[in-house]
Amino acid sequence: MDFSYYNFHIFPIISSFVFFLLLCSTVFPAVSAAPFEDFRRMNQTFRPGEESKKLRLIRTHLMKINKPSVKTIQSPDGDIMDCVLVHHQPAFDHPVLKGTKPLDPPERPNGYHHPGMESENYQLWSLSGESCPEGTIPIRRTTEGDILRANSIQRFGRKIPKPVRRDSSNGGHEHAVGYVSGEEYYGAKASINVWDPKVTDRFEFSLSQMWVISGSFGDDLNTIEAGWQVSPELYGDNYPRFFTYWTTDAYQATGCYNLLCSGFVQTNNKIAIGAAISPTSSYNGGQFDISLLIWKDPKHGNWWLEFGSGVLVGYWPASLFTHLRDHASMVQFGGEVVNSQSSGSHTSTEMGSGHFSGEGFGKASYFRNMQVVDWDNSLIPLSNLKVLADNPNCYDIRGGINNVWGNYIYYGGPGKNPRCP
């Protein structure tokens, strides 16, 4: 498929809204692949009593987020999946959700074409041949090592609220995104091809996702996020993993990745949020993509998430949010990496496939069939799609439209290269 005849335009000047958003995201620094040894070595000044106290706090936190299971499944990649009763999941620890029950699925948006059957879930843990029984959900078990890789117990599973400068010479996050703004949005849909980009530093990650955004882009920023990511800090490996995120106060005290705090209500027993995705795309070879749909239920106002073809994962309750109780004011699609190099050469962490957008199909990362949901709960094409690359010599983006893919973008890059020293 050759899209080289389309004209593409980069928009270097964007609104302060996008500028703020691209400042805000961040990641937790990792500590070690051998967490206990490094933990003790890096804390040699701690008295044994202080170290024991921290480990007790970690175990208390683990008891809070690792719920009792009715079945345990060992994944081929080393993950342990706990089958937890739906009403015992972390979501219902949230003060506004206590005592409630999961809601029934809503109708899909108008214009949604259901494939007629649910696809395979394309996650490594399912290759074990085991599954969670009805009435339960699979939750990836969190370990002491997972928390020790985070910069603090309190911030584990959360983004750090302090803004990061976009100037890559100071380190920070770099994006290549397509976005729409200026109207009321009630959801978004797209297909993303999945890669396993090289992440060269334990303090860094590489992700591809959709953002559904509202608020003044101050302390009241609301976001809903979903996609795939490679994050050695969060997961302890380099597998691409399906993930979600949310916040209602610009990442300060609310929200988290996956099910690492209360909030997102999972309803599906076949999908594990935070689990590795398989297969992945190969350069100049087979392409594997996943479809994501986020939309606001017109009846109850909750934001539902669909993964793959017809698999409803669950929902973010409207009660979690302020501005997103009503609608979104911006939707973004694209990639993000962390460049932790504060000086000297740029990181070699890859975005997407690790190749620039100009290489096109089979080589570059893409989002295709990009749509938004309007006030009438209808899926519609994007209008006035803009694209932005923070550092196009390292990671770039181009967008277009045709009759097969509708609105699409190609994006990504290798990071450090002769034009990005």
CB atoms near residue 295 (< 10 Å):
26
Per the annotation, the verdict on 51 as an active-site residue is no
Per the annotation, the verdict on 50 as an active-site residue is no
Q: What is the DSSP string of 372-414?
A: EE-TTSBEEE-SS-EEEESSTTTSEEEEEEETTTEEEEEEEB-
Query: Which is catalytic among the residues 225, 233, 306, 350?
Result: 225
Closest CA to 187 of 375, 343, 405, 412: 375
Residue 139 phi/psi, 5-degree rounding, is -125, 125
180 close to 386: Cβ distance less than 8 angstroms: yes
How do beta strands 311-316 and 328-339 pair? unpaired
Distance, CA of 125 to CA of 50 (rounded, Å): 37
Q: How many CA atoms lie within 13 A of 66 on its CB side?
A: 18
268 close to 104: Cβ distance less than 8 angstroms: no
Distance, CA of 400 to CA of 368 (rounded, Å): 10
Query: Which is catalytic among the residues 174, 233, 306, 336?
Result: 336
Closest CA to 294 of 283, 284, 286, 304: 304
227 close to 211: Cβ distance less than 8 angstroms: no
Give CA separation, 256 vs 22, 103, 221, in Å. 18, 21, 14
Whether the ω angle into residue 68 lies within 30 degrees of 0, i.e. cis, is no
* Residues designated catalytic: 225, 336
